[in-house]
Chains A and B, each alone.
Chain A
Amino acid sequence: MNWLKYALKRLLMLIPVIISVTFILFIILSFAPGDVARMVLGQDATEEQVAELNHEMGLDRPLLVRYVRYMWDALHLDFGRSWTGNFDVLGEFSHRLPYTLLVSFLAILFATGVGIPFGIASAIKQYSLLDYGSTFVVMLLFSMPAFWLGTMCQLLFCLTLHWLPVSGINSWKSFILPPLILGANTMASMIRMSRTSMLDVIRMDYIRTARAKGGSRRYVTRHHAIRNSLIPVVTQIGISFAGTIGGAVVTENIFAIPGIGTLLINAVKSRDVPVVMGTVIFITIIVGVINLVVDLICALVDPRIDLAS
């Protein structure tokens, strides 16, 4: 029950974070210029109509009052309506979330599934062709903007070879390229992390002891080295999830996936404050929860981690 207590504590600690993050965002977004009511009603509206709508949306009140009101509504799961489109922020978000989560999940799956084995293999066979090859790929991927890699892959696989659809979400084939592009950078850092971590572990005394006791190289690698080298890598998965969700914004834009990313970009471009606000808060919460889950997994993998402290 120790970890349950810990999980609850961490969840409770998320609350002040969310409150302060919303406050900071609220202050930042209050600098957004323009007469919102005028924007919504159009040029033909009279001054009275504009003033009335401003009053209705509470925009004529002081910042702090608006903030408290926003948080009160948020407690009742009302995150406001979009200023530019006719939709509810929470509804639209939950409608689009599955696509983003699917793409991000596949991306992380690809990054860990390919990155960790390659990283470990290149550590075991240090200075081999495989090692140099994967180091080179890592260097390339770290220096490439994701949107460029995406565009180039689109050019090659979709427009020239016609293997995959260019954009949209018409079939399962649409979910092949976006996760690969999104996960490419994470894969590079997975290769690097697991290689470094494995190299550290291989040189540990307990590995030498295990070998001296007669364990075959293969057995020692499997049962002693790999398991121990994975601990920092698992933590890294959680950290990279935040980056993946941020990167999803770009990837969704390249492949026209109707996820949160496209929603956010359109909202930023049209300065749709409630949508930006809601989206950023939700993503922050999701990232926080995922980090919590990863910490719990870490504690399960590594019994030395004491959750209570």
Chain B
Amino acid sequence: MARKKKTKKPLSEYSAGELILFRFRKNKLAMIGVGMFIFVTLMILIAPLIRPYSMVVKQDIVHRLNKPSAEHIFGTDELGRDLLARILYGGRISLFCSLAIIGIAFVTGAIIGGTAGFFGGKVDTILMRVVDMLMSVPSALLAMAIITALGNGVWKLVLALSIGQIARFARMVRSSVLTLRNREYIEAAKCFGSSSWRIIMKHILPNGIGPIIVSATLTLGSVILSISSMGYLGLGVASPTPEWGTIISENKVNIQYYPYLGIIPGICIMLTVMSVNFIGDGLRDAFDPKSKK
């Protein structure tokens, strides 16, 4: 694809990063995903301009369970709270928490997996045993056990869900470090007398990070889903703090007669997760054009 006549310089002059970007931007679904994701993020960020935070919790019994109208675009819930405001501010929690979870899991996993892969030997064996142990418990159950111990709350939820993801990232980082460790250019760098730190930052990181970023993006979608499931089960963000899953859960009784209370937040979750998945798929194809899924 990159071999079009329009490109001014020959293919060999493009850096690997430029080629990846090029391929990514050629991918229509991925660009749709980026557009959707930017839209969602923008709406969440400018939420105060659309609805003041007070509307999230302000109860208005007179206007309870109003169908969507000009005044309340998404309608109101049982307590007369504006659904649009709750969804906008709920999105902040859903999205920022999921980013935090991926961030924590990514960094911790990279440290554990990187140490294990780079140093090998006993360190590797011990660390990987711990990781195997964490992996043998289904992550949803591990998160629930942690919530039992810590209780409800936004940050406790972030902690509980990120611990379940650490093991996967550690494994991935380890295996990519292991494949890179014995490459010729690493040996060459060692011969030049580069320090371990320099080899990790300059050679291993840029070469190994691709698939891990792809996987992090794809995991982001499932983490958003886990957060909302936890909210739905009453184990995550507790009402009246809005969170997409919590919003559906608190409207459970009224969904039969006021379906919009369930449909709208669900579609918000779906579109967000879908945009992230599109981006992830696009990144995967861009990093590894040979794997055609």
User: Which residues of B approach A to under 8 Å, CB–CB?
Assistant: 129, 132-134, 136-142, 144-151, 221, 225, 228-229, 232-235, 245, 248, 252, 255-256, 259, 262-263, 266, 269-271, 273-274, 277, 292-293
Contact = CB atoms under 8 A, between A and B. Distances in A.
30 contacts: A24-B133, A24-B134, A24-B137, A25-B145, A28-B145, A30-B149, A31-B150, A32-B148, A139-B277, A140-B274, A142-B273, A142-B274, A143-B271, A144-B266, A145-B228, A145-B229, A147-B233, A148-B262, A148-B270, A151-B266, A152-B262, A159-B256, A192-B293, A249-B140, A250-B229, A265-B235, A268-B148, A269-B235, A284-B137, A287-B136
B248 A147 contact: yes
Ranked 5 nearest A-B pairs via Cβ: A246-B140, A143-B274, A148-B266, A143-B273, A31-B149
Given A148-B262, A155-B255, A249 B149 contact: no
Give the interface centre of A140, A142, A155, A246 by most chain B CB atoms within 10 Å.
A246
A249 B141 CA distance: 9
Given A32-B148, A145-B225, A243 B133 contact: no
Given A196-B293, A245-B138, A145 B269 contact: yes
Contact of B248 (A17, A148, A242): A148
B148 A276 contact: yes
A48 to B, nearest CB: 28
A139 B269 CA distance: 13
A201 interface: no
Nearest to A160: B256
A144 B266 CA distance: 8
Interface of A: 17, 20-21, 24-25, 28-33, 139-140, 142-148, 151-152, 155, 159, 192, 196, 199, 242-243, 245-247, 249-250, 253, 264-265, 267-269, 271-273, 276-277, 279-280, 283-284, 287-288
Given A32-B148, A151-B262, A192-B293, A265 B273 contact: no
Contacts of B137: 21, 24-25, 280, 284
A29 B145 contact: yes
**Interface residues of chain A: helix, strand, loop or mixed (majority):** helix
**Interface residues of chain B: helix, strand, loop or mixed (majority):** helix
Given A28-B149, A29-B149, A31-B150, A146 B229 contact: yes
Give the interface centre of A21, A139, A142, A148 by most chain B CB atoms within 10 Å.
A148
Contacts of A17: 132-133, 136
Contacts of A288: 136
Contacts of B228: 145, 147-148
A287 B145 CA distance: 17
Contacts of A145: 225, 228-229, 232, 245, 266, 269-270
Contacts of B248: 147-148, 151
Contacts of B144: 249, 264-265, 268, 276, 280
Contacts of B150: 31
B133 A21 contact: yes
B256 A155 contact: yes
B136 A147 contact: no
Contacts of A20: 129, 133
Nearest to B226: A145
A23 B263 CA distance: 42
A79 to B, nearest CB: 15
Contacts of B132: 17
Contacts of A287: 136, 138
Given A143-B274, A152-B266, A250-B229, A280 B145 contact: yes
Nearest to B281: A139
Contacts of B151: 33, 271
Nearest to A247: B140
A280 B145 CA distance: 8
